[in-house]
Amino acid sequence: CLAQSSPPKHRGLLLLPLACPLCATHPPSYSLRCNCTNCEKTGFECETDGACMASTYFNEGKEQHVRICITRENLVPPGQPFYCLSAEGLLNTHCCYEDYCNSIDLKIPGLPLFVQRTVARTIVLQEIIGKGRFGEVWRGKWRGGDVAVKIFSSREERSWFREAEIYQTIMLRHENILGFIAADNKDNGTWTQLWLVSDYHEHGSLFDYLNRYSVTIEGMIKLALSAASGLAHLHMEILGTQGKPGIAHRDLKSKNILVKKNGMCAIADLGLAVRHESITDTIDIAPNQRVGTKRYMAPEVLDETINMKHFDSFKCADIYALGLVYWEIARRCNAGGIHEEYQLPYYDLVPSDPSIEEMRKVVCDQKLRPNVPNWWQSYESLRVMGKIMRECWYANGAARLTALRIKKTLSQLSVEEDIKM
């Protein structure tokens, strides 16, 4: 699961060709693959020997996003190519040099603090939609639309502050990470409530969704690919003044992933996440040895052999958990009229609220993993999903796949299965 060290990235601020003279689809000999907003024929992807570029600008009051490939010959002058420059207040442009690194939305996450205050104070709570260890989640009304409001009690102030801090990491915004709107504290006269306001997704969590519905092969691939895309963006470090640190989730599970109306995932609940400060090669808070949900803990977390000085260790633990989430999704896939009832991973091996010791015995001592049925081999997409799972579950974290590799494999599968993402 260990990523290659990334090449240096240049970035500046903005000047954008709205037409696309630079993004001819390149022959497959070029190594860099990028998202491409106007490359419909090639599944909205392009290949280049140069850079991936993302740009956001306003056109007639509407925010527009452009993602293209830029050829090496157009990266001039060296160090500050014209096509990678931004223009203050007009355009925000970003060039980068890793596969699909231009999937980012160039916006400052959330809203300015004074706007967040105003937002929270104009929300009308409608109904409670969930409870967790931190407090409650409500559906609220704001400007005629729905928002989700996570309400922490004042004794959970550290959790509230930490989650708000992570969500406001610059460049975190991504279509497969829950959209953060505001953080505020509200005094209801008796006690202080701490609010986190985010996008509302009526399907609820992936756990709820899979309990309620089986999924088609297309539905399975959409869920799996979008979850990998969100995790790849979370894990990815983008260098430069407009960059973002690598972030590891540390509590990835089906209850912490939301399902959007379009059948795609949004990763949520970043309260236990850690950020990597690459300049000092440190982690931004002192991480506890074992946090998260016991059922989804990687073997190295259960037996306390994880190297907490090494940020990649946390990314590898996330990948193990993603493999378990994939197993939950694939079991509910309706292929040839067969699908199984929803179950949590290890449902047949541990009790409903397992202890660390019970999980350790199964995962570390007996080296057991969830069952991948033989009949999945009869369907290419289930075969691929099963192979990915196994490669997420290796006892050795460093041998596991990366989120970016999983994203590429599933992108390829979605093209083969002719799935419109």
Higher-pLDDT residue of 155, 152: 152
Q: 48 has which bridge partners?
A: 32
| Residue 365: inside a domain | yes
For residue 90, the model assigns a pLDDT of 55
Q: Would you tell me how many other CB atoms lie within 10 Å of the CB of residue 256? A: 24
Query: Which parts are annotated binding residues for ATP?
Result: 150
| Residue 87: inside a domain | yes
Where does a domain end: 182, 199, 216?
199
Catalytic residues: 251
Residue 48 half-sphere exposure, CB side, CA atoms within 13 Å? 29
Residue 21 pLDDT > 80:
no
284 and 370 share a domain? yes
For residue 97, the model assigns a pLDDT of 87
Whole-angstrom distance, CA of residue 20 vs CA of residue 66: 9
- Computed over every residue of the chain, the mean pLDDT equals 87
78 and 124 share a domain? no
Please compute the mean of the pLDDT values over residues 63-82 and round it to a whole number: 81
Domain hosting 5: range is 1-106
Whole-angstrom distance, CA of residue 387 vs CA of residue 332: 17
Residue 10 pLDDT > 50:
no
Structural domain total, the chain: 3
Please compute the mean of the pLDDT values over residues 348-359 and round it to a whole number: 98
Please compute the mean of the pLDDT values over residues 320-333 and round it to a whole number: 99
- Residue 3 sits in a domain whose CATH number is 2.10.60.10
| Residue 187: inside a domain | yes
195 and 216 share a domain? no
DSSP label at 37? T
155 and 286 share a domain? no
Where does a domain end: 199, 227, 242?
199
31 and 144 share a domain? no
Query: Which parts are annotated binding residues?
Result: 150
Confidence of residue 108 (pLDDT cuts 50, 70, 90): very low
Where does a domain end: 69, 90, 106?
106
For the stretch 232-249, pLDDT in tens is: 999 999 887 678 999 999
268 and 323 share a domain? yes
For residue 58, the model assigns a pLDDT of 59
Whole-angstrom distance, CA of residue 247 vs CA of residue 270: 9
For residue 105, the model assigns a pLDDT of 65
Residue 188 pLDDT > 80:
no
SS (H, E, C) 361-421: HHHHHCCCCCCCCHHHHHCHHHHHHHHHHHHHCCCCHHHCCCHHHHHHHHHHHHHHCCCCC
- Rounded to 5°, the CA angle 197-203-204 comes to 50
| Residue 421: inside a domain | no
Whole-angstrom distance, CA of residue 251 vs CA of residue 229: 17
For residues 322 and 384, the answer to whether their CB atoms sit within 8 Å is no
Whole-angstrom distance, CA of residue 125 vs CA of residue 146: 10
Please compute the mean of the pLDDT values over residues 82-107 and round it to a whole number: 74
